[in-house]
Structure 1
Amino acid sequence: MTFQVSPDQVRTEKPLAGRVALVTGSTSGIGLAVARALAGAGSALVLNGLGRPEEGSSLALSFDDQFGIEAVYSPADMADPTAIAAMMQLASARFGRLDILVNNAGIQHVSPLESFPPAQWDAILAVDLTSAFHTTRLALPGMRERGWGRIINVASAHALVASPFKAAYVAAKHGLLGLTKVTALEAAETGITCNAICPGYVWTPLVEAQIADQARAHSIPREAVIRDVLLANQPNKRFAQVDEIGALAAFLAGDAGASITGAALPVDGGWTAH
């Protein structure tokens, strides 16, 4: 007996089949998990991240092998508008379109405001906020022309609340949420949505290293660092997993997210419910 699969069934199993996504900062951590979730749903991908170009190209090939989708890697520096424009052009040249844009790239520096290095302030604002302006302004015309698009900004709980010693990061993430809302309003009648995912602490290799550093610095057990330092403001006392962020991004990128726009979606274990 021969079984035939209908187009509707394929669409259900791979809801993003035929779409093209670009995820900045997607060679590790949250960005990589988002890219994997979108690929699993059938989307072709432009990956991005700093590092050795051959490693990025190898990562793209692994997406081809694992998910059966086409992926390409861009080493664009998110602090460089010219490099960002070249990355966006790569997406257009390789795939002919860009349907889903995920602005995830980000950097951090912790310092009291009066001694915060101006160069660090400039770098954080460039990567965490201004890069999203450049990618968004370049993605919107094509999305408008096709009458469909999804822009997802990976912000932070710090887009909604503040913490001491993170002036640039908090300012950038608050700005990113503002950009999200403006984009959503300007594109509201075009089939394009724009939303911000606002994670609290998420389990990544960088967080694991931070736990070890804090334990040494304060001479306290690892468990105490997690509960009483890092997760002090997170009522559920657990780290979110990167796959949780990926799953939410994939939902927002699909047809089921069509009426969600201009939203700040906390994934923070209740942090911002205080």
Structure 2
Amino acid sequence: MTRVAFITGSGRGMGREIALTFAKKGYRIIVTDVNEDNANETVALIQESGGEAFATVCDVTKLASVEAAVNVAKEQFGQVDVLVNNAGWDKIEPFLKSEPATWETIMNINLMGQIHTCKTILPLMIEQGYGKVVNIASDSGRVGSSGEAVYSAAKGGVIALTKTLAREMARHKINVNVIAPGPADTPLFKEIGEYNQGITEALIKAIPFRRLAQPQDIANAVAFLASDEAEYITGQTLSVNGGLAMV
């Protein structure tokens, strides 16, 4: 049976690399993103390499949008076997200079978005008798990160959510795990503003492997946790950070 992967925020960056990696492994992909053009670009890349994919707009902050996207997935492929909660956003700034509107956006995308998708897709997995969920958190949710107080809180919430769902879903043989990336060379990292200038070089010096993570590094780890080789792994948080934090 060909598995179907529903990947949020897969219109660019790390999410796109995850989608391409899964497609190479034979999955059919539901590419979801708030930006339709980006989602279509990812689908085109998958199709060029001989894979099968379909794009749909999904704003993870809105439960109705998630439900609509999942309905599209069911119409196109009839099932959802793997959920990868990749969609995320951050604005790096000192906490005392941050504003409530920013807090709300960060929490809605990074935490509520994953709650929405899990609430919608887990019942399908239970009905199918099969499912793998890989939530993308961050090492900031484990050890904190200056300038990312609310983001760290949201990602810490993702880790706690994952552990609880792993316990609740174990009776249904559904695996729920977390990938916690360290600093990664993604479009989001390049867009996070003036506060980040000069930090990249410092991070590279601090990382034992002396480089930022590449999207493929993260995608490989996600693919492992979504595979049948990881069927006895659940409720775990796997850091992919080049040794920057060892927790």
> Residue 155 of structure 1 is aligned with which of 124, 137, 149?
137
Letter of the 1:56 partner, please give it.
A
Amino acid at match of 2:66: I
The aligned runs of 1:31-180 (5 Å cut-off) are 31-51=15-35, 53-69=36-52, 71-180=53-162
State the Cα distance separating 1:58 from its structure 2 match: 4.3
- Cα distance between partner residues in 1 of 2:215 and 2:59: 23
Q: Provide the TM-score with structure 1 as the length reference.
A: 0.83
Per-residue Cα deviation, 1:132-156 (whole angstroms, up to 9, x for no partner) = 0110111111111222100001111
Do the aligned partners of residues 29 and 79 (structure 1) sit closer, same or farther apart at CA in structure 2, a change above 3 Å counting? same
Q: Is the 8 A contact 2:183 2:213 kept in 1?
A: yes
Counterparts of 2:26 and 2:18 in 1: how far apart (Å)?
A: 13
| SS of residue paired to 2:216 | helix
Higher Rg of the two aligned structures: 1
Q: CA deviation at 1:214?
A: 7.0
Cα RMSD after superposing both structures: 2.1
* TM-score, normalised with respect to structure 2: 0.92
Runs of 4+ in structure 1 over 6 Å off: none
Q: What 5-or-longer segments of structure 2 have no aligned partner?
A: none
Task: Compute the displacement of 1:237 (Å).
Answer: 2.3
2:201 equivalent to 1:227: yes
Check conservation: 1:30, 1:245, Cα contact below 8 A: yes
Give runs of aligned pairs for residues 188-267 of structure 1, distance below 5 A.
188-208=170-190, 225-228=199-202, 230-231=203-204, 233-267=206-240
Q: Structure 1: how far apart are the matches of 2:153 and 2:70? A: 26
Whether 1:187 aligns to 2:151 is no
Letter in 2 for 1:137: K
Determine the C-alpha separation between the residues in 2 that align with 1:231 and 1:125.
Answer: 28
Q: Distance in 2 between matches of 1:113 and 1:208?
A: 20
Residue 27 of structure 1: how far off its partner (Å): 1.0
Identity %: 33
Relative to structure 1, the CA distance from residue 233 to residue 76 in structure 2 (aligned partners, 3 Å threshold; closer, same or farther) is same
CA 1:205–1:214 in 2, change beyond 3 Å: closer, same or farther?
Answer: same
* Distance in 2, Cα, partners of 1:54 & 1:125: 25
Distance 1:127 1:121 in 2: 10
Letter in 2 for 1:115: K
Evaluate the alpha carbon distance shift between residue 207 and residue 116 of structure 1 in structure 2; reply closer, same or farther with a 3 A threshold: closer
Question: Equivalents in 1 of 2:120, 2:76: separation in Å?
Answer: 16
Give the direction of change, closer, same or farther, for the CA distance of 1:209–1:144 in structure 2 (3 Å limit): closer
Q: Which runs of 5+ in 1 are unaligned?
A: 1-16, 219-224
State whether residues 150 and 253 of structure 1, in contact with CA within 8 Å, keep that contact through their aligned partners in structure 2.
Answer: yes
